[in-house]
C-alpha cells in the first residue's frame, strides 16, 4: 500500500500544482483590485484557456521535476515522469471573489473556484524493474483558495510573486486508471484515494503553507538606488561643422540606460568646435552591472530640431568603484559598430566619471525593511543629499468624465510621472523618484497632483486634475523620513499617500 500511496501522492502533487498554477497564471495575466466582475473574468479565461493550458502544463513540469527527483529515493522508485499532461478543454470558473488591499504592499484575493475538467494526465512510475502507468481523468475541484500577490512593485506586472494557499481542504473528485483498468471500481479504494489526495494537497497548500510562483526578481523589480554616478564633462575636440557659417553650437546630453529620468544637459557653447564645459552632474544608479551612461553631443538650433553630432556609451561595469576615471571617447553616428558611417571623424569628448556605491551597511538588509532610510554616498556635496519620493497610493479619487489616474510631481522645475492606472478610484502605484541636491531643500515645496487622462481618442474632456497638494520639505530634512496620507485639494474625499526620505552621507 505504501507504493500505491506514493503514486497517489505524486498524483496529488500534480492536481495541486495544476490547480494552483491555473489560478496563479490567470491572476498573472490580468487582475483588477476593485469591483471584480466574475462573469467577465470567466469569459476572459474561456478565451485564454487554450494558451494557458500549454503554459501551465509546461511550468508544472518544470516545477515538478526537481521535487520528484528529491522524493523518489525515499520510496525506492527509479523514476516518475509525466507521459502526457493537458488540463483539457474546459477552464475553471469563478463563482465569486473577495479582494483585500492590506498595508503590507500586497494584494489578497479569495475566489471561489469550480472546475469540472476533462484532463489527460498520465504519470509513469518505474520501480523494481516494473512500470506502472497511472492516468487521471474526469477531474472535479471545488476550492476556496487565497491568492496573494506580493510584494507590489513599480514594474509590470506590478507584483513579484504569487502565493496560493487553501483556506480549507478542497473537494477533489476524479477517475484513476492503472494499466487501463478503473481503479475506482475496487471496493474501498475510492474513499482511500480521495482522502489521500485531499491530505496530500492540504499538506502542501493548506494555510499558512502556500504554493509560491516567482514572477519577477524582487531586487530588480524594486530597483532601489545603489549608488551615485558623478559625471564631469570636460571638453570636446574637433567637432564637425553643422552651421552654414562654418561653426556649431554644441551641448551635451547625458542619460543612464534603464532609467525613466530626464536627460541631463550642459550649457550651449556657441560657435565653437573645441568647446570646454567643466560642468558636473550626479546621477542615481540602480544596477551598475547592466546600466550604461549615454553621452550625446548636439548642435543647438534656435528654430527646428537639434542635430545630433555624435554619441558614445560607457558601461558602468567598466568603472572601478570610488575611483575617478578620465576618458577620451570618439563620437560615433550610432552604436552599430558595423555602420560604415562610424568611420567618419566626428570629433572626441573628454569626460571624468566616478561611481560611488552606497556602503553595504547603509543598504536595507531586505525589502521587508524598505522603510529603512539609506545614506547618500561618500562624495556627496557638503550639506547635500538625495531626496527620495515614493508615491504609494490614493483613495477616493474621482473624475467627472473618467478616472484613469496617474501622479505628476514637480520639483525645482523638473517633472516626473507615474504610470497610469485605468478605471480605478483607489489606485496603487508604488513608484519611486530621486533628486540629487547640492543642499537641503528646507525652503522648497513639492507639488504633487493626481491627473486623469482619457484613453479614448476624441473625447471632449481629455485631461482632468483630480486633486493636488503642496508639501513643505523642511520636515523631511529634520526627520529624514515622512510617510503620510494627505487630503487632496480640490477633491471631495480624495487622499494620497506619499513617502519622503532625505538621505545624506552622514
Query: Could you give phi then psi for residue 17, rounded to 5 degrees?
Result: -65, -45
pLDDT digits (tens, 9 = 90+) for 300-329: 887 777 888 999 999 999 999 999 999 999
Contact indicator for 421, 453 with CB cutoff of 8 Å:
no
Q: If you average pLDDT over each of 47-56, 281-290, 352-361, 401-410, which comes out highest?
A: 401-410
Contact indicator for 324, 353 with CB cutoff of 8 Å:
yes
pLDDT of residue 125: 80
| pTM of the predicted protein model | 0.41
The verdict on whether omega for the bond into residue 151 sits within 30 degrees of 0, i.e. cis, is yes
Query: Could you give phi then psi for residue 474, rounded to 5 degrees?
Result: -65, -35
β-partners of residue 424 are none
Which residue is it, cell 505628476? 408
Which residue is it, cell 522524493? 71
pLDDT digits (tens, 9 = 90+) for 253-302: 999 987 767 788 888 898 899 999 998 888 888 888 889 999 999 998 87
pLDDT digits (tens, 9 = 90+) for 429-483: 888 888 888 888 988 999 999 999 887 655 566 789 999 999 999 888 887 888 8
pLDDT of residue 4: 46
pLDDT of residue 380: 61
Task: Provide the grid cell at 122.
Answer: 498520465
Share of the chain above pLDDT 70, in %: 73
Q: Looking at residue 332, what DSSP letter applies?
A: B
- Residue 87: is it exposed, middle or buried by C-beta count within 10 angstroms (0-12/13-18/19+)? buried
Close Cβ partners of 471 (under 8 Å, ≥ 6 residues apart): 445, 446, 448, 486, 498, 500
Helix, strand, coil % in the chain, rounded to nearest 5:
20, 40, 35
pLDDT band at 7 (very low <50, low <70, confident <90, very high): very low
User: Which carries the bigger pLDDT value, residue 202 or residue 280?
Assistant: 280
Query: Could you give phi then psi for residue 229, rounded to 5 degrees?
Result: -100, 120
Which residue is it, cell 489578497? 108
Q: Looking at residue 170, what DSSP letter applies?
A: P
Close Cβ partners of 56 (under 8 Å, ≥ 6 residues apart): 18, 21, 22, 25, 87
Amino acid at each position: 500500500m505504501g507504493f500505491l500511496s506514493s503514486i497517489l501522492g505524486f498524483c496529488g502533487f500534480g492536481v495541486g500544482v495544476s490547480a494552483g498554477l491555473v489560478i496563479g497564471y490567470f491572476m498573472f495575466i490580468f487582475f483588477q483590485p476593485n469591483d471584480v466582475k466574475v462573469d467577465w473574468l470567466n469569459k476572459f479565461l474561456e478565451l485564454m484557456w487554450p494558451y494557458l493550458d500549454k503554459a501551465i502544463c509546461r511550468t508544472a513540469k518544470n516545477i515538478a521535476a526537481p521535487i520528484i527527483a528529491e522524493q523518489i529515493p525515499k520510496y525506492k522508485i527509479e523514476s516518475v515522469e509525466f507521459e502526457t499532461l493537458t488540463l483539457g478543454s474546459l477552464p475553471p470558473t469563478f463563482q465569486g471573489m473577495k479582494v483585500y488591499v492590506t498595508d503590507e504592499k500586497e494584494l489578497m484575493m479569495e475566489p471561489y473556484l469550480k472546475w469540472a475538467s476533462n484532463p489527460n494526465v498520465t504519470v509513469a512510475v518505474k520501480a523494481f524493474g516494473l512500470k506502472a502507468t497511472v492516468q487521471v481523468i474526469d477531474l472535479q475541484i471545488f476550492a476556496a483558495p487565497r491568492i496573494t500577490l506580493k510584494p507590489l512593485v513599480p514594474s509590470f506586472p506590478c507584483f513579484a510573486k504569487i502565493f496560493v494557499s487553501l483556506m480549507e481542504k478542497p473537494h477533489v473528485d476524479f477517475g484513476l486508471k492503472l494499466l487501463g483498468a478503473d481503479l475506482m471500481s475496487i471496493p474501498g479504494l475510492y474513499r482511500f484515494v480521495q482522502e489521500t489526495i485531499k491530505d496530500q494537497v492540504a499538506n502542501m497548500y493548506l494555510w499558512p503553507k502556500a504554493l509560491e510562483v516567482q514572477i519577477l526578481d524582487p531586487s530588480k523589480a524594486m530597483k532601489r538606488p545603489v549608488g551615485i554616478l558623478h559625471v564631469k564633462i570636460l571638453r570636446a575636440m574637433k567637432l564637425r561643422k553643422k552651421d552654414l557659417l562654418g561653426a556649431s553650437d554644441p551641448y551635451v546630453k547625458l542619460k543612464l540606460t534603464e532609467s525613466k529620468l530626464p536627460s541631463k544637459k550642459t550649457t550651449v557653447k556657441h560657435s565653437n568646435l573645441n568647446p570646454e564645459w567643466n560642468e558636473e552632474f550626479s546621477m542615481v544608479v540602480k544596477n551598475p552591472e547592466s546600466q550604461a551612461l549615454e553621452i550625446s553631443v548636439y548642435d543647438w538650433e534656435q528654430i527646428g530640431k537639434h542635430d545630433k553630432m555624435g554619441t558614445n556609451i560607457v558601461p558602468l561595469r567598466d568603472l572601478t568603484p570610488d575611483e575617478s576615471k578620465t576618458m577620451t571617447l570618439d563620437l560615433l553616428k550610432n552604436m552599430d559598430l558595423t555602420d560604415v558611417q562610424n568611420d567618419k571623424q566626428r570629433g572626441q569628448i573628454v569626460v571624468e566619471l566616478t561611481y560611488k556605491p552606497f556602503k553595504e551597511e547603509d543598504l536595507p538588509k531586505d525589502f521587508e525593511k524598505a522603510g529603512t532610510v539609506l545614506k547618500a554616498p561618500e562624495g556627496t556635496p557638503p550639506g547635500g543629499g538625495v531626496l527620495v519620493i515614493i508615491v504609494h497610493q490614493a483613495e477616493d479619487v474621482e473624475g467627472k468624465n473618467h478616472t484613469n489616474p496617474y501622479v505628476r510631481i514637480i520639483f525645482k522645475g523638473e517633472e516626473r510621472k507615474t504610470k497610469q492606472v485605468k478605471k480605478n478610484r483607489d489606485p496603487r502605484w508604488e513608484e519611486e523618484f530621486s533628486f540629487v541636491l547640492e543642499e537641503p531643500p528646507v525652503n522648497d515645496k513639492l507639488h504633487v497632483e493626481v491627473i486623469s487622462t482619457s484613453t479614448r481618442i476624441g473625447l471632449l474632456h481629455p485631461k482632468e486634475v483630480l486633486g493636488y497638494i503642496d508639501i513643505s520639505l523642511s520636515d523631511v530634512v529634520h526627520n529624514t523620513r515622512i510617510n503620510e496620507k494627505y487630503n487632496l485639494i480640490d477633491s471631495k474625499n480624495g487622499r494620497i499617500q506619499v513617502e519622503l526620505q532625505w538621505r545624506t552621507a552622514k
